Amino acid sequence: MENNEGEQRTEKGNVLKTPISLGDLLNGGSGFQIDTEFRDNNRSEEVFMEDDYGSADEDEEEYKVLLTPWTRSFDELRQEMEQRSEFLYKRVIKKGVGEPLTGNKRVTIEYNGFFENEVKPFDSTTLRNTPFRFILGSAEVLPGLDDAVQTMCVSEEAQFLISYKLLFGEVGCPPRVKPKADGLFVIKLISFTDVGDADALSKLDSKERRSYAVVKEKVAEIRNYAKDCFKRNILPNAIHKYLEAIDTLLMCELKDEEEQKEQQATLVSLYTSLAVCYNRKEQPKDACRMVNEVRQICDINQHAKILYQEGKALHKLGEYDRSQKSLLRAQQLQPEDESIKKALKTLNASSQKHRQLEKSIWSRALGMVNTKQDEISDEQKKFIDGVRQSVNVFLEDDSCSIMPLPERLSQQELSIVQELADAFKLKLTVHLENNKKHYKFQKKP
């Protein structure tokens, strides 16, 4: 590890101008970042602490957090702590709720780490102003930090004295970390989520895959994994695992009606989750496909969540009337839901824009029906200019990808429509429904 300029040495050891992160120490260089799993877009880059801790008007409590809570020797501190293992001592500052964590969990913590006889932290989430996240038992962090958090409950705050054997070892990381450097960590466990087992279903043999009792437990693991992927916006992984869970459930042998009901309820939840993912990915057709799968299982008019997802997807497809019908039914089931209210408000705004656009275009288009095609009149020029302005509204509306056109267009009107589509690089599509042709403008990718 290279020496940083500005480092100063005192009698008690190395005092750093800038603190280091645990990742730096683990990797032996300044470019390594410790949170390899969490890819949140809002994550701040790590910054190092300056010697100047702030001005006179800085919040006093926050300043105190950045100072060690223990100024005597670590041997004396051990006498006041509970020994949790050969290399780990603990003292609870504030009790948490629930039970200590077990299993495959992604935790969010805040911490400050101190070496013996050093007032300032060598690593601090308080200074970085962002929590730290990692998966327990995954070797993402120092073993001592992992072991410490596994003794905690949610909302708990505690101090841990951790042996160098679970931190940086006998050698340390000179010159920043001295050999055999024990560490004092002040940790707060903010929250956790189950991350599940991504390979839970792939580990089953053919006999186990036929047993619903076995499969449903593994599906629960897969769903936890998919939810964790969704939260971190890794949508392809979430979709893949939801589909894997559905395929496995459908292959099970069901013993009785009770298992069938339970299976169907799980399938409804999985298809709904997929609709959410596809809507997030701007794939409304696939979202509608998931809704239709739910229709094969149950009456969706009794499920507000799936109706809401259908309404959002239909809105993006330009199916305003159908979208409104789905959203209004969802609102009947959950009248206080703010997401549904917001979706209806957005839909109404898009619908009004569409009606104004349609009126602007077709009032001019129908006026050109009798215009001779071999002449370019002033009226045609005005029409072209008006269409250019109106279609721009449609093109700039990111929430709308399809624009339905009036029914019963004549051949001459269709010719005009096709010319407009070519001019504005739109795709003209037609589908037959109830023996009627329905035309639409669609934005090209």
Q: Is 15 helix (H, G, I), strand (E, B) or coil?
A: strand
Class of 74-196 in CATH: alpha beta
- Contacts of 9-14 with CB under 8 Å at 24 or more apart are 12/117, 12/118, 13/115, 13/117, 13/118, 13/178, 14/175, 14/176, 14/178
Distance from C-alpha of 280 to C-alpha of 226, rounded to nearest angstrom = 14
Over residues 313-323, the pLDDT tens digits come to 999 888 888 99
Give residue limits of the domains in the chain: 74-196, 199-364, 397-443
How is residue 249 annotated by DSSP?
H
SS3 percent helix, strand, coil of the chain, rounded to 5, is 45, 15, 40
Over residues 137-146, the pLDDT tens digits come to 888 899 999 9
Same fold, 74-196 and 199-364: no
- Place 184 in a pLDDT band, splitting at 50, 70 and 90: very high
Q: What is the predicted pLDDT for the residue at 437?
A: 80
- Can you tell me the mean pLDDT for 432-439? 76
- Say which residues have a Cβ less than 8 Å from residue 102's Cβ, sequence separation at least 6: 150
- Place 175 in a pLDDT band, splitting at 50, 70 and 90: confident
CA angle 17, 19, 25 (to 5 degrees): 130
CB 401 within 8 A of CB 314: no
Distance from C-alpha of 136 to C-alpha of 205, rounded to nearest angstrom = 28
**Stretch (H or E) spanning 205:** none
CB 288 within 8 A of CB 317: yes
Could you tell me what percent of the chain has a pLDDT over 90?
A: 50
CATH architecture assignment, domain 199-364: Alpha Horseshoe (1.25)
Range name among 263-277, 329-343, 361-375 with the lowest pLDDT average: 361-375
Distance from C-alpha of 308 to C-alpha of 89, rounded to nearest angstrom = 51
CB 80 within 8 A of CB 72: no
